[in-house]
Amino acid sequence: MTSSPWQRRQNAPEPDPMDDAFTLGRRLNALRKSRRMTLAQVSEAIGVAISQLSLIENGKRDAKLSTVQALAKLYGVTLDALLAGPTTKRTQLEIELDGFMRSPLATSRGLPPIRVGPRTPTDVLEAMVALHREVLRLSEQHIATPEEARRANTVLRGQMRDRGNHYGELEAKASELLRAVRHDGGPFTTKDVNALARHLGFEVRHVDDLPHSTRSVIDLRNHRIYLARQASTVGHDQRSVLLQALGHHVLGHTPPADYAEFLAQRVQTNYLAGAITLPEAGVVAMLRAGADARDLDVGDIADAFKVSWETAAHRVTNLTTRHLGFPLHFAKVHETGTVYKAYENDGIVFPMDPTGAIEGQPVCRQWASRQVFERGVAEGEAFHQFTDTPAGTYWDSVRVERTAGGRYSIALGTDFVNAKWFRGRDTRVRTRSTCPDEACCRRPPTDLLAAWGGQVWPSARARTHMMAALPPGAFPGVDETEVYTFLQAHEADG
């Protein structure tokens, strides 16, 4: 989605001075002029040709470390001071402008570079930098429309389907981290998570004033991770929240350039957290044993690793197709009947809008995800059902879980042929869905329509996410000012 109009977090680069020839060259040029020395005098003092010095100062050639050390000594500054930052306001402007002109943002906007020389007036540099800053600011205000977000999610879901929802590189990273903390293969406890944080160089702090728009905040400057106290966090396993925060660091994430990258990063950190909490080897062993006995059940895995049924079901979708060879589908549906998130590689057809997105779409009343509510199944109680659909017959195992946002049904299922591997396949509950045929469940029954048709004018409850654009900023939904204020307040904490 490189052409998406969603906000472009393409800041001017901030290169390491040792690696950026232009930045270092500008600093050396400024130091030489402040000492009122000519290139010829510097050349004679350190034994480097004038032509080489000129190329270095103009950023057209990398300087050898020995040359940089000699220049620092000649100018009477330490190597650290030379590499620490610009020495004059003009030098700072030149470096910042060069960074802006070379940025992807300037290229994508067709902004032509200008040649900056000794005679370029400082006020011109100031004006150019100010203009580039404004372009960047306006670019960062760009927001994704709901349609763009749905399209991005559709593309990502397709990629997940193509690989059977299995990410080998993330499994390998999880195994590496588990070995680092000498995990024994059982449940990954809070103690284990904290040990991993310490291994990665972070201190975990629980606070009462965590910004309301966040689940965690990483302070990269002081190597701290802030979490809300357990009592104030609803619907989130603190282990997963911390592991997801660490995941951004471990995977080397940078502020996302567009909404597609934001979603991909979320998937990666969630996957890594799951792979650590439910290690591949242990889960696969349970899957194989369950399938061999034709008694596979997500609840057994949830109990063994001390996680929610939803977390275990997610993990089963990661590993089953890869290791056991049969397809699955997963759906999280709100009690109102709308899809919150879903995945499939077994051919089941979820309801979708013209963009291919399924989020927010109503699920057929005959599907297990809705029937579990219609039949009044208690939270946490097992519910199994076969559903005949135009795409085939599917079996589902469903649980209802409550979160801060209400009750959700969590369904894990497969096609009729592969239901034989699961506990609950002997259910006698079977329904028939003909959706998207409106006569299935979207058109009122004849008797009700005759009794009430034309006699009712209901006022729909508007769902703001249907119309509102996504929040701007590098991290959608996060109030950056609130986060910075929070970190400033905790900066001096011992």
In angstroms, rounded to a whole number, what is the distance separating the alpha carbons of residues 229 and 241?
12
- Higher-pLDDT residue of 131 and 317 is 317
Percent of the chain at pLDDT > 70 equals 87
pLDDT, tens digit, 9 for 90 and up, residues 347-361: 999 998 777 788 888
φ/ψ of 398, rounded to 5, equals -130, 145
Transcribe 458-485 into DSSP letters. ------GGGTSPPP-SSSTT--HHHHHH
Residue with tokens 């991770």, as numbered in its chain: 225
Position 308, amino acid? S
Taking the model in full, what pTM does it have?
0.68
Longest dimension (CA), the chain: 102
Kindly tell me if the per-residue pLDDT of 52 is higher than 80.
yes
Radius of gyration of the chain (CA): 29
Mean pLDDT, residues 418-433 taken together: 96
What pLDDT score was predicted for residue 322? 95
Tokens standing for residue 330: 């997963």
Residue 400 — pLDDT band, cuts 50, 70, 90? very high
Position 74, amino acid? L
Please, what are the domains in the chain? 21-140 (1.10.260.40), 278-441 (3.30.450.20)
Mean pLDDT, residues 323-331 taken together: 96
pLDDT, tens digit, 9 for 90 and up, residues 378-397: 998 999 999 999 999 999 99
Residue 477 — pLDDT band, cuts 50, 70, 90? low
Transcribe 311-338 into DSSP letters. HHHHHHHHHHHHHH----EEEEEETTSB
Tokens standing for residue 124: 């011109």
Look at the alpha carbons of 316, 317, 323, 327 in this order and tell me if their dihedral is positive or negative. Answer: positive
SS3 state of residue 140 = helix
CB atoms within 10 A of CB 324: 17
